[in-house]
Amino acid sequence: MKKELEYFTIDGEFGGNQDWFTNVVMHVGGCAAATACDSCIYFARKFGMKSLYPFDTWKLNKEEYKKYSQIMKPYLRPRINGVNKLYLYTDGFREYLKDKQKDGGVCVSAEMKEFSGEHTVTEAKQFVRQQIGKEIPIPYLMLRHKNKEKFEDFIWHWFLVIGYEEKEDGFWIRVATYGEETWLNLEELWNTGEKEKGGMIGYRLENV
């Protein structure tokens, strides 16, 4: 079983990239804001939610993306320990939705599900199936992981899950971050072996 969302590129790179940010604090700690930016671009392109992204979603470029990240910054601002709690993301993104979403029609609900890393991997797989099955990307927060070398780029980091594939060798998720596409084994990723785990966010769409 394989399911992938139709994603976007920006000047030849796969989605947005935190490394583009020239603002120092955003360059270091802007992964939550970048994840929210990419979510909004996806929703604007897929479901016509034009109020979520102030530029042309069909002519994406790095300069406008960087400007957009500064618009998102106050809502998901970098801080000393990062946006290291699921509620910090949902609280911040909820405020952005309230301020920007004026279209009517299909919209992202302010009621988001916080799916803690304390859930079992079986439950995590089902959560991914449900969200991707609805054509909805999933913000994923991973904090610490016992396999630091393998998951170095994903530790203390927000990224987007945009697909999955169930294969004989495991349940794989397709993720977008740092302008790249990566496939990760969810069993290995989810079972961090650490107390500070993170989790996922479940967006919900609704008609208004």
* 84-87: long-range contacts, CB 8 A cutoff, minimum separation 24: 84/141, 84/143, 84/156, 84/196, 86/114, 86/115, 86/116, 86/141, 86/198, 86/199, 86/201, 87/114
Q: N- to C-terminal Cα distance for the chain?
A: 33
- Helical residues (DSSP H) of 101-172, grouped into ranges: 121-133
Q: What is the pLDDT of residues 25-60, one digit of tens each?
A: 777 779 999 999 999 999 999 999 989 999 999 999
**Which residue type sits at 82?**
G
Rounded Cα distance between 186 and 32, Å, is: 20
For the chain, counts of helices (H) and of strands (E): 6, 11
Does the pTM surpass 0.85? The reply is yes
Return all residues near 130 (Cβ < 8 A) that are at least 6 apart: 202
Among the residue ranges 26-40, 143-157, 175-189, the one predicted with the least confidence is: 26-40
Q: What is the pLDDT of residues 67-108, one digit of tens each?
A: 999 999 999 988 888 899 999 999 999 999 998 876 555 688
